[in-house]
Amino acid sequence: MDTICTIILAAGKGTRMLSTKPKVLHEILGQPLIWYPLAISRHFGEDIIVVIGHGREEVGAYLARHRCAQVVQDPPLGTGHAVLQTRAALERTNATDILIIPGDMPLIDRVSVGGLIQAYQAQNATMGILTARLDDPAGYGRIVRDAEGRIKAIVEENDAKPGQKKIKEVNTAVYMVKKDFLLKAVGKLTPNNAKGELYLTDIVKMAGSVVSAQALDSHEGDGINSRDQLAAAAATMQQRINTAHMRAGVTLVDPKSTYIGPLVKIASDVEIWPGVHILGQSNIKGRVRIMPGAWIKDATIGPESSVGQHCIIEGATVSPGAAVAPHTVLAI
């Protein structure tokens, strides 16, 4: 995978969030939105470029703690324009293939991205697109195919004709592209659309061969543009994480009221009661019982121990076999 460089598009303002905080710094289960595409990107290669814009001081400060290059898009003139800003950084990388991921889509799954990369590489395509099928595709770019099923274009909602708006296969905005082609194609984009922007999707018409892979879950293409969408994505992520832990031998008395961050490690035979939050890089060892209302962050809970109801444990270590009394605060 060392031939892959990832571009994460994170310059958007997120007007509908009604927030002074940059959209990609809003959190799901203790991690900002931008953390999720960073984690996926790292799985496929160490070469990562993040395009920032609105709130770039705050976003840039967060990204400085991660191994990635930062490129500024100002003013924001579309996704094609965003990629255009990465030209100098792309020319410096040895990667031959570019993975492009939005910075505000935390539900994109690593397995789905891997399937896209596999299809793209197997057919030696110029471009690959991760698609999804939605019962209600409103607001998404539609995948337009010819009679043989080949992708002809991606048509954005504002530019789609009535017939095209009925298409249920949509663009998730996750792509694989040959670097040489990408650098040439973005330079040819023109703002001939309803928004007067440079659409990255317009490069599909220039590509010699385009393949697709379908996301495993239709929610993977859900972008975050409002607080209700943030809450919906958080609920989906919560379900994914909790299900994975239960299948690995963890008992969650009430999964719907249990909140576990994506970096948390939990051994088998742990019992977690309702209203518990376990966040950060916490490590819960085997045969631990955690009672209702506990808050645990960046902590290690030793094996065979118990945490009483409504405890707060941050940055601390609970010894093996210990019994932490209810309402105890252990914080460093």
Tens-digit pLDDT profile for residues 2-40: 799 999 999 988 899 999 999 999 999 999 999 999 999
Tens-digit pLDDT profile for residues 191-228: 988 889 999 999 999 998 999 999 999 999 999 999 99
According to CATH, where is 2.160.10.10 located in the chain?
248-331
Tens-digit pLDDT profile for residues 31-77: 999 999 999 999 999 999 999 999 999 999 999 999 999 999 999 99
Output the pTM of the full model: 0.94
The answer, yes or no, to whether residue 292 has pLDDT greater than 90, is yes
According to CATH, where is 3.90.550.10 located in the chain?
4-221
Report the alpha-carbon distance of residue 40 to residue 108 in Å, rounded.
8
- Residue 1: its pLDDT value, please? 53
Tens-digit pLDDT profile for residues 108-126: 999 999 999 999 999 999 9
Report the alpha-carbon distance of residue 128 to residue 110 in Å, rounded.
15
Cβ-Cβ contacts under 8 Å for 286 (sequence gap 6 or more)? 267, 268, 269, 270, 303, 304
- Residue 231: its pLDDT value, please? 97
CATH class of 248-331: mainly beta
Tens-digit pLDDT profile for residues 226-254: 999 999 999 999 999 999 999 999 999 99
Q: What is the DSSP string of 128-149?
A: EEEEEE-SS-TTSPEEEE-TTS
Q: How many CB atoms lie within 10 A of CB 76?
A: 15
Average pLDDT over the chain reads 96
Alpha helices in the chain (DSSP H): 35-44, 56-63, 79-84, 87-92, 110-122, 179-186, 227-247
Architecture of domain 4-221: Alpha-Beta Complex (3.90)
Which of 37, 33, 30 lies closest to 21 in space, CA to CA?
33
The answer, yes or no, to whether residue 258 has pLDDT greater than 70, is yes
